[in-house]
Structure 1
């Protein structure tokens, strides 16, 4: 089958809960970049067979997925001379299924991967599921239930531990694409402008001064659960935002109104789980460190050894 005519020039493939929403929204500020209204069309995972998900409210994921080549190309038909991106972060986790289709339809597209300490990432994903009233188990029980959830075809976001096994995911993209940019959540948070400068250089576009005060995709338990349910989770809220709000207005309302009215409260961490997760991730982090020539044990895991 032929390559797409209207298509993105780069993919932000993941990882989920590693800062990809912030990265994507920063990129959206740049005058030379076009981003579709749907950050995560998830076309490639859906078309690769990830289209029957059985976790609580996983049906919503399928409902809002772009399912056909024609609809996917429509997202990019008005990009003009700008660089266009796709922010479907499940593409990293489902690498073995989506990479062949990405290469077939997009060719040797540029790939951006944002990585985060896998222990912190796992808890952040769990916290988001609590925020959205999908998760009902304690963190400890959710980790124990993960393999069963995977067997029962729960969406990737439920795979709290396995999503953080980055080595095979990253290596597959590096093996299959010429231009792969790896950035780290800690750099994006603490050295935002210089990190974004590196991304813009990778995309071969001009430097830009980003608004560094924004906080995207806040997790935690909503204090005002009714407001969160109506304006964030419900079909009414989704339709209202899609039909009546521009991207800039949606971002403004999220930052200045919704997050303050909902008042997300941080979930208390189950720190006793960190030791088991430390052992779970240690080998994978060592292999990834060698692949990327960076000491990720020092960056990600050492603090858990010190604290325990």
Structure 2
């Protein structure tokens, strides 16, 4: 088998001598190494591909599998894909491939690589205080490594409660560290998030704006004309839904467009959780846009669609904003959300028990958007969030139909180029094709038994028909 692998790699390497910029060949070589679990060589090939064409679309698709093999999950995968052009981020992969057994505590740490390995191990064991200490050590040793800030922020968000007593210590550490140090923009996003948790909103706004300013000056899309032009604070569009329907992939594709300037984070949860923080806090997460046009910005919080009275809050601040909703077969969406909850230990029931319980509660409710409080004490909303028509009806009593683009997630994955052109046309920007369209933040799980799937399909059937009638478009979900 090893001999066969070497022959294939040699064959593809010879092809590269003829066509050295053929990214498809790099992808095939990376796949061969990955199948043999030679992850270090897989990584080397991915690095070679980026040197040929240094944009995220050129990274071999096997890299996403490799991220998951190394233990990255959910939003960590999405965020890490946005950091791949950094040499240090690649080196962190190398470190994860061979863990040191001698490093047991932060006191044993000598290098930033050892600190991240230790932090990762503590995170897996849910020893949060120890994980935080390890990632802070990694930041202290190598302040320019984005991965440490990203993971530290994920841990803080997971652990944060009013009783969380580490925040002041971490913020003090941050302030001491960033004085005169070369730190990535995301370091200031994390600082802004922590200051927000402390209620220090004006200080948080300064941190977010500093992050945006750093990002702008590092962004290859930016020209001197942009830097010197008059600008407005504005948000061009929102992806309002739906969760587990492809919003991470869609936002990732948009981030590659030369006219798109991303927010500090994909999901800001302003209109459903953070509205009281004020408009200035929200706008601080976005790059300012030239008054003469040419660029756009937006965010994707996929739970906006089903959240209470979000549509009124959006209209209050941005009455002309463009709105995108991507809808997935509600059976598939519900099952995907269930497995995400199971993965993060927010669900302990079996799939059949969870789905059957919710069917029984929702089947006799005349207006599913007005579920009783008891519902939220027992259910997770797996089916409820798939009742799209009732949410869209509410939004379209506030916004005119022409401000919406409604998409099927099945089309995004099966006809990606065509669907993206539809989106670009709606956003009034030029067409832009990627060489690859990787699925971002996707999960995998066993096939659902036919009896349960039919039960869920029967439940959704009348609601799906209402959706088609209301929008005048076919979804063809079974």
TM superposition score normalised by structure 2: 0.45
Structure 1 equivalent of residue 342 of structure 2: 130
Structure 2 Cα separation of the partners of residues 125 and 150 of structure 1? 21
- Cα deviation, 1:207-226, whole Å, max 9, x if unaligned, reads 10124341211213xxxxxx
Q: 2 CA distance for matches of 1:142 and 1:208?
A: 42
Alignment-derived partner of residue 32 in structure 1: 259
Contact (CA 8 Å) 2:411, 2:419: kept in 1 or not?
yes
- Cα deviation, 1:37-94, whole Å, max 9, x if unaligned, reads 3111111011569xxxxxxxxxxxxxxxxx4433211012444452111201111111
Q: Please name the residue that 1:86 is paired with.
A: 299
- Tell whether the 8 Å contact from 2:234 to 2:288 is kept in structure 1 after alignment: no
**1:153-168 mapped onto 2 (5 Å cutoff):** 153=376, 158-168=380-390
Q: Does 1:300 align with 2:477?
A: yes
Q: Over residues 4-37 of structure 1, what are the superposed CA-to-partner deviations in whole Å (9 max), with x where a residue is unaligned?
A: x733110100011111111111111101111213
Is residue 202 of structure 2 the alignment partner of residue 202 of structure 1?
Answer: no
TM-fit CA distance, 1:267: 3.3
Tell me the equivalent position of 1:279. Answer: 458
Once residues 453 and 314 of structure 2 are traced to their aligned partners in structure 1, the CA distance between those partners, rounded to angstroms, is 35
Question: 2:260–2:297: 8 Å Cα contact kept in structure 1?
Answer: yes
Structure with the bigger RCO (C-alpha within 8 Å, sep 6+) is 1
Partners of 2:423 and 2:315 lie apart in 1 by 22
Q: Give the match for residue 71 of structure 1.
A: 281
Q: 1:113 to 1:103 in 2, by over 3 A?
A: same
Work out the CA distance in 1 between the residues paired with 2:421 and 2:354. Answer: 38
Deviations 1:246-278 (A, max 9, x none): xxxxxxxxxxxxxxxxxxxx2342432222212
Q: CA RMSD in A?
A: 2.5
Which residues of structure 1 form unaligned runs of 5+? 50-66, 221-265, 302-308
Whether the aligned pair in 2 keeps the contact of 1:131 and 1:219 (CA below 8 Å) is no
In the alignment, is residue 267 of structure 1 matched against residue 446 of structure 2? yes
Distance 1:165 1:21, change over 3 A: same
| 1:180 paired residue among 404, 411, 427 | 404
Q: Calculate the TM-score normalised by the size of structure 1.
A: 0.68
Cα deviation, residue 132, structure 1: 2.4
Deviation by residue 1:197-249 (Cα, 9 ceiling, x = unmatched):
000000000010124341211213xxxxxxxxxxxxxxxxxxxxxxxxxxxxx
- Corresponding residue of 2:391: 169
Give 3-state SS (helix, strand or coil) of 1:91's partner.
Answer: coil
| Matches of 1:268 and 1:198, distance apart in 2 | 32
Structure 2 residue runs of 5 or longer lacking an equivalent are: 1-231, 362-370
Distance across 2 between alignment mates of 1:48 and 1:139: 34
SS at match of 1:100: helix
Select the structure of larger CA radius of gyration.
2
Q: Out of 301, 317, 330, which is 1:118 matched to?
A: 330
Q: How far off its partner does 1:182 sit? A: 0.7
Q: Which moved more, 1:125-134 or 1:143-152?
A: 143-152
Distance 2:387 2:375 in 1: 20
The 2-side partners of 1:212 and 1:79 are apart by: 28
SS in structure 2 at match of 1:11: strand
Call closer, same or farther: CA 1:42–1:211 in 2, change over 3 Å.
Answer: farther
* Contact 2:306 2:391 (8 Å CA) reproduced: yes
**Structure 2: distance between partners of 1:86 and 1:155:** 31
How far apart, CA to CA, are the structure 2 residues paired with 1:118 and 1:69? 33
Are the equivalent residues in 2 in contact too, given 1:44–1:98 (CA < 8 A)? yes
